[in-house]
């Protein structure tokens, strides 16, 4: 399923779970190397992601020169956002076009989050959906500009109050763009106890007509957090992605790699196999149990030929090879057309 099919086929009002659309958030973990970027594409595909997403920005249009760090400076010692973003803002239109072509070749969907007007414009030719970062949820003019491309939008909701999300949603709804909201915690890394996955259900209640997903910043470990988010109804799972978690830098140490992604996909495969079909009904493999573990009406005592059947003549025992106990009211009052011995499983042909 590609991302447009996700918006077209999933009904947020249906009380069922869907296997989530997985976005490997490579961000700027290519660190300016096209070879590394292509490696990330290859490994995201190998790991089982549906899409790989980069980030497109220029430091000068994203942050002032005095913007402080808000990440773990023990892991990423750079103390200025502008300084950090300046290290990774060399990938621009030419590089994004090349990555889009490479993703098409590999068979994985290309995405990139724009952080300014110029990147939003040229990315329009490369993507079928726009992703808006949590950091821009209050950026009304930027959200409205992105809405003008008339494409579906995925909006992360990290560090937001409900009224702020509602306000951003209202701006998008005014343009009529299909919308998915991702629960997100802007805490790098997010301790498991702060993942607050219950907020996924809160978003479902507050926005019942929207697709709901999860953007994860917890340490990957066994990928259990993302699996739990899927079971709570997230139809999109986004998580930072790297080729080497030991590298220094803000988005490597809490990212998943291809092996983590494989674990997640295997777990999902098993989990959704266990979940099965959401339509209530007996399975084919239960047919033997239906016939042998259920009960039939049985003669509680000898019933002479010609006798009208009374309730006291009947009991119920396994197997279900005769008249079902659910039909007891229909049987009482009928006449035995033959002698019936005690403990016989009763059949309709025994009665007038």
The pLDDT tens digits of the residues spanning 37-53 come to 999 999 999 999 999 99
Phi, psi of 194 (to 5 degrees): -100, 0
Q: What is the pLDDT of residue 16?
A: 86
- Reported as a pLDDT band with limits 50, 70 and 90, residue 59 is confident
Query: Do residues 135 and 164 touch, judged by C-beta distance below 8 A?
Result: no
Distance between CA 287 and CA 20 in Å, rounded? 32
- Reported as a pLDDT band with limits 50, 70 and 90, residue 71 is low
- Reported as a pLDDT band with limits 50, 70 and 90, residue 77 is confident
- Reported as a pLDDT band with limits 50, 70 and 90, residue 100 is very high
- Reported as a pLDDT band with limits 50, 70 and 90, residue 78 is low
Range list for CATH 3.20.20.70 in the chain: 3-275
Query: Do residues 91 and 119 touch, judged by C-beta distance below 8 A?
Result: no
Query: Do residues 155 and 180 touch, judged by C-beta distance below 8 A?
Result: yes
**pLDDT per residue as tens digits for the range 139-187:** 999 999 999 999 999 999 999 999 999 999 999 999 999 999 999 999 8
Q: What is the pLDDT of residue 337?
A: 97
Reduced to 3 states (helix: H, G, I; strand: E, B; else coil), residue 240 is strand
Does residue 192 carry a pLDDT above 80? yes
The dihedral of CA 198, 202, 208, 212: what is its sign? negative
Query: Do residues 200 and 233 touch, judged by C-beta distance below 8 A?
Result: yes
| Best CA proximity match to 33, nearest among 257, 244, 255 | 244
261: left (phi over 0), alpha (psi -120 to 50) or beta: alpha
Does residue 63 carry a pLDDT above 80? no
- CA of 168: how far to CAs of 81, 118, 160, 207, 228, in Å? 25, 21, 10, 12, 27
Task: Kindly provide the residue ranges of all beta strands, DSSP E only, lying in 58-189, ordered along the sequence.
Answer: 109-114, 130-132, 153-156, 179-184
Range list for CATH 3.90.1210.10 in the chain: 286-350
DSSP conformational letter for 314? E
318 Cβ contact list (under 8 Å, min separation 6): 292, 293, 294, 295, 296
Supply the mean pLDDT for the chain.
94
Q: Find where tokens 């998008």 sit.
A: 172
Does residue 286 carry a pLDDT above 70? yes
CATH topology of domain 286-350: Type Iii Antifreeze Protein Isoform Hplc 12 (3.90.1210)
The dihedral of CA 83, 88, 90, 93: what is its sign? negative
Of residues 66 and 115, the one with the higher pLDDT is 115
CATH number of 3-275: 3.20.20.70
Kindly state the average pLDDT of the residues 186-207: 95
88 Cβ contact list (under 8 Å, min separation 6): 28, 31, 32
């Amino acid at each position: 399923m590609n991302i447009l099919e996700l918006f077209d086929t999933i009904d947020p009002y249906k009380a069922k779970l869907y296997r989530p659309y997985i976005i490997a958030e490579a961000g700027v973990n290519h660190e300016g190397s096209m070879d590394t970027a292509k490696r990330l594409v290859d490994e995201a595909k190998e790991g089982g992601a549906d899409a790989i997403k980069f980030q497109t920005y220029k430091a000068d249009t994203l942050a002032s020169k005095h913007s402080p760090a808000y990440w773990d400076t023990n892991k990423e010692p750079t103390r200025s956002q502008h300084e950090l973003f300046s290290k990774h803002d060399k990938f621009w239109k030419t590089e994004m076009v090349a990555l889009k072509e490479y993703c098409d070749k590999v068979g994985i969907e290309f995405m990139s989050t724009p952080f300014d007007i110029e990147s939003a414009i040229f990315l329009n030719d490369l993507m079928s959906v726009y992703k808006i970062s949590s950091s821009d949820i209050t950026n009304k003019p930027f959200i409205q500009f992105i809405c003008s491309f008339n494409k579906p939008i995925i909006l992360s909701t990290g560090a937001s109050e409900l009224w702020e999300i509602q306000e951003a949603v209202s701006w998008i709804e005014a343009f009529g763009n299909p919308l998915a909201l991702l629960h997100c915690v802007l805490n790098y890394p997010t301790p498991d106890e702060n993942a607050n996955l219950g907020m996924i259900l809160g978003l479902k209640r507050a926005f019942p007509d929207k697709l709901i997903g999860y953007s994860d910043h917890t340490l990957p470990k066994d990928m259990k957090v993302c699996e739990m988010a899927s079971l709570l109804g997230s139809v999109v799972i986004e998580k930072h992605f790297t080729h080497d978690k030991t590298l220094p830098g803000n988005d490597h140490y809490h990212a998943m790699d291809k092996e983590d992604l494989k674990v997640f996909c295997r777990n999902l495969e098993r989990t959704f196999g266990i979940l099965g079909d959401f339509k209530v009904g007996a399975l084919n493999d239960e047919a033997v149990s239906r016939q042998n573990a259920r009960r039939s009406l049985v003669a509680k005592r000898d019933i002479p030929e010609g006798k009208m059947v009374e309730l006291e003549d009947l009991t119920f025992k396994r197997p279900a090879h005769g008249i079902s106990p659910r039909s007891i009211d229909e049987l009482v009052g009928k006449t035995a057309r033959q002698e019936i011995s005690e403990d016989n499983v009763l059949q309709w042909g025994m009665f007038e």
